[in-house]
Every structure is written in structure tokens, then in C-alpha cells.
Amino acid sequence: MIITRRTFVKAAAASGAALVLPGTAPGAPPAPVMRAVPSSGEMLPAVGLGTWITFNVGDDPVLRDECAEVIAAFFAAGGRMIDSSPMYG
């Protein structure tokens, strides 16, 4: 495929515009889907983090550090709801 000067200039202009226009940064996580709590109207992310079984790692310092890294990543990505109950009732 032969690229003409006109095609090259159009592509270069579009690339430059994409760099300066506002928008989501490359690699940035998308904003979480939010839902209202029915009783209060408070907006929370629709997906939370459940900890039952997965985070039951005992006293192993390596596994505890890994769990801490997961929780830090969760908060860094906009997470706000952590459910730690093993059962309901």
C-alpha cells in the first residue's frame, strides 16, 4: 500500500489532536459503574470486593502482603465497598 502525502498529513494531524484533546489517559481504568443505595441515595460502585475464603490466609506474611496489595489496587481503581461477612442471616 502506497501512502500519499495527503494521507500521511491527515493521520499525523489526527494523532496530534488525540494527544492534546481531553479524554481518558491511555491505560487508565474506566470509571466504575455507580448505583444508588436505596435507603440513602449514596452512590457506590456496582461491584465490590468480597473477602470470604479468598482473604482467609492465616498468619502467612507473604500471603497477607499479597492480600494487602489486592486491597490497595482495589482502592486505587476506585473501589469503595468491601464485604467481609462469611454468611448472612
Nearest C-alpha neighbor of 68 from the set 46, 47, 51 = 51
Instruction: Kindly tell me if the per-residue pLDDT of 42 is higher than 60.
Output: yes
Q: Is residue 40 in some structural domain?
A: yes
In a domain, 88, yes or no: no
Domain contains 19? no
Question: What's the DSSP call for residue 46?
Answer: S
Taking 80 as the threshold, does the pLDDT of residue 59 lie above it? Answer: yes
**Model confidence band, residue 70 (pLDDT cutoffs 50, 70, 90):** very high
Number of domains, the chain: 1
> Is 21 inside any structural domain?
no
What residue ranges in 1-89 does DSSP mark as E strands?
Answer: 34-36, 43-45, 49-50, 82-83
Q: Would 9 be classed as within a structural domain?
A: no
Residue 10 in any domain: the answer is no
User: Does residue 64 fall inside a structural domain?
Assistant: yes
Residues 6+ apart with CB under 8 A from 68: none
Cα separation, 87 vs 84, in Å, equals: 9
Q: What percent of the chain has pLDDT over 70?
A: 69
By residue range, what is the domain housing residue 64?
26-83
